[in-house]
């Protein structure tokens, strides 16, 4: 794919709320939350989640939001998301050396909170972005939203020659579901995996030493499996549906999509020395590793992010990329992969300048 211009990741910033150990979350809250016929099953799922610590803007160890109305949860989202988002955006702008009023486009991805004016308007106001700033809010795409967001921002930079900013901010902790002794496995898995975070990326049209140019973007959606992953708005927050068949569906599609992305750029899997794969769970990473024929250490950054931060939905793949680029010897060529409702697979090819 030949761009009119070039879009380079010139700065990244992350922000995390307070963290807690998975064992402490189990013992201090979830063991009682599942005190019934599902307790033993829930304990095993928590222990095998691949998560060691994770973050919560609204920790169940301090506040039980499971009985809150959706309205109350949305009001709290604005209170908690704004400072987290400001921190991530501020760090990304500082690293990129870009002033807020120089931005031409601001893309915000979030599936865990909605209000108008939203994060895009309030942050633009509070951080001194220009009145002529173009804004785009991407909602309810879920875990893969960072990659279409990144692709859209990169297209703007390449076509217009102006900097753009991407922000992914998620507060999954606000969507804790009520106690149910018959709770289905999907809810238990969601409660064992999901976490809160914000991550921001600044893209510029000029080459930055060590920056990653966005070379290509790929997508594939299998709508025959649309019911395998859901995120329903209920009177008690948003409820996750997560079929155990997701890894199987992913195993069918991930290799063909990656091969297509690389082939049209004259590359093979062997030419890629960095993999930023969304850690939706241990089985997801196992499937990607197996289907792409990767060495175990290729998935190490994704597994470490899952262990240290949990599944933070849309910011998570950016956390993995941030870990890769901070290595003493950063990879030259990176493929980012993320998966979510649809079922949808997204891939982005990055090349280091």
Percent of the chain past pLDDT 90, that is, above it, reads: 93
In tens, the pLDDT along 147-185 reads: 999 999 999 999 999 999 999 999 999 999 998 766 688
Is residue 2 in some structural domain? Answer: no
Alpha carbon distance, N-terminus to C-terminus of the chain: 17
Hunting for tokens 């069918």 — which residue is that? 252
Is residue 184 in some structural domain? Answer: yes
pLDDT of 4 strictly over 60: no
Phi, psi of 130 (to 5 degrees): -70, 150
pLDDT at 182: 64
Cβ-based neighbours of 201, under 8 Å, separated by 6 or more: 9, 11, 12, 92, 150, 153, 165, 166, 318
| Angstrom distance (rounded) from CA 335 to CA 321 | 9
Is residue 168 in some structural domain? Answer: yes
pLDDT at 353: 82
Structure tokens at 188: 């238990």
CATH number at residue 95: 3.40.47.10
pLDDT of 192 strictly over 80: yes
Residues 166 and 227 in one domain: no
Per-residue pLDDT band at 3 (split at 50, 70, 90): very low
Average pLDDT, the chain: 96
Structure tokens at 213: 């140019």
Residues 245 and 178 in one domain: no
Is residue 165 in some structural domain? Answer: yes
Residues 237 and 341 in one domain: yes
Domain boundary among 176, 204, 232: 204
Domain boundary among 177, 204, 231: 204
**Mean pLDDT on 283-305:** 97
Longest dimension (CA), the chain: 60
Is residue 3 in some structural domain? Answer: no
**Mean pLDDT on 66-93:** 98
State the DSSP code for 343: T
Question: In 3D, which of 210, 121, 110, 223 has the Cα closest to residue 170?
Answer: 110
Which domain, by its residues, includes 119? 8-204
Per-residue pLDDT band at 12 (split at 50, 70, 90): very high
Residues 221 and 198 in one domain: no
In tens, the pLDDT along 91-144 reads: 999 999 999 999 999 999 999 999 999 999 999 999 999 999 999 999 999 999
| Angstrom distance (rounded) from CA 293 to CA 288 | 8
Residues 230 and 160 in one domain: no
Query: Of 82-91, 200-209, 266-275, 335-344, which range is least confident?
Result: 200-209
Residues 139 and 235 in one domain: no
Residues 270 and 340 in one domain: yes
Active site residue 143: yes
Is residue 19 in some structural domain? Answer: yes
pLDDT of 2 strictly over 50: no
Residues 68 and 108 in one domain: yes
pLDDT at 209: 81
Residues 109 and 252 in one domain: no
Residues 99 and 66 in one domain: yes
Specify the number of domains making up the chain. 2
Residues 182 and 149 in one domain: yes
**Cβ count within 10 A of residue 201:** 29
Is residue 151 in some structural domain? Answer: yes
In tens, the pLDDT along 39-48 reads: 999 999 999 9
Is residue 1 in some structural domain? Answer: no
| Angstrom distance (rounded) from CA 195 to CA 170 | 8
Which of 109, 143, 168, 312 is labelled catalytic? 143
Domain boundary among 204, 237, 253: 204
Percent of the chain past pLDDT 70, that is, above it, reads: 98
Residues 120 and 179 in one domain: yes
pLDDT of 1 strictly over 60: no
In tens, the pLDDT along 230-249 reads: 999 999 999 999 999 999 99
Question: In 3D, which of 194, 196, 279 has the Cα closest to residue 239?
Answer: 194
pLDDT of 5 strictly over 90: no
More confident site: 225 or 353: 225
Question: In 3D, which of 208, 194, 130, 139 has the Cα closest to residue 167?
Answer: 139
C-beta separation of 349 from 237 below 8 A: no
């Amino acid at each position: 794919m030949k761009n009119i211009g070039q879009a380079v990741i010139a700065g990244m910033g992350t922000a995390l709320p307070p963290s807690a150990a998975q064992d402490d979350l189990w013992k201090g809250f979830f063991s009682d939350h599942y005190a019934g016929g599902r307790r033993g099953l829930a304990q095993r799922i928590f222990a095998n989640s691949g998560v060691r610590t994770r973050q919560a803007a609204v920790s169940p160890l301090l506040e039980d939001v499971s009985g809150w109305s959706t309205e109350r949860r949305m009001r709290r989202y604005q209170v908690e998301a704004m400072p987290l988002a400001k921190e991530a955006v501020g760090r990304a702008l500082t690293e990129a050396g870009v002033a807020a009023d120089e931005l031409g486009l601001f893309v915000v991805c979030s599936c865990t909170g909605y209000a108008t004016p939203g994060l895009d308007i309030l942050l633009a106001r509070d951080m001194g972005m220009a009145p002529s700033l173009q804004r785009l809010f991407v909602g309810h795409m879920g875990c893969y939203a960072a990659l279409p967001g990144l692709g859209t921002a990169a297209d703007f930079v390449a076509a217009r020659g102006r900097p753009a900013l991407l922000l992914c901010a998620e507060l999954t902790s606000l969507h804790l579901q009520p106690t149910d002794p018959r709770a289905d496995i999907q809810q238990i898995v969601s409660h064992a995996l999901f976490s809160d975070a914000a991550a921001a990326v600044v893209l510029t049209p000029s080459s930055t030493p060590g920056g990653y140019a966005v070379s290509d973007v790929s997508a594939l959606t299998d709508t025959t499996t649309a019911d395998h992953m859901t995120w329903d708005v209920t009177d008690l927050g948003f409820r996750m549906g997560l079929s155990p068949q997701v890894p199987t569906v992913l195993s069918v599609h991930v290799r063909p999509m990656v091969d297509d992305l690389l082939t049209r750029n004259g590359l093979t899997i062997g030419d890629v020395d960095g993999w930023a794969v969304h850690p939706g769970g241990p089985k997801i990473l196992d499937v990607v590793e197996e289907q792409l024929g990767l060495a175990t250490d290729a998935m190490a950054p994704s597994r470490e992010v899952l262990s240290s931060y949990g599944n933070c939905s849309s910011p998570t793949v950016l956390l993995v990329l941030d870990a890769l680029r901070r290595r003493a010897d950063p990879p030259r060529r990176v493929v980012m992969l993320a998966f979510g409702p649809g079922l949808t697979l997204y891939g982005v090819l990055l090349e280091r300048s």
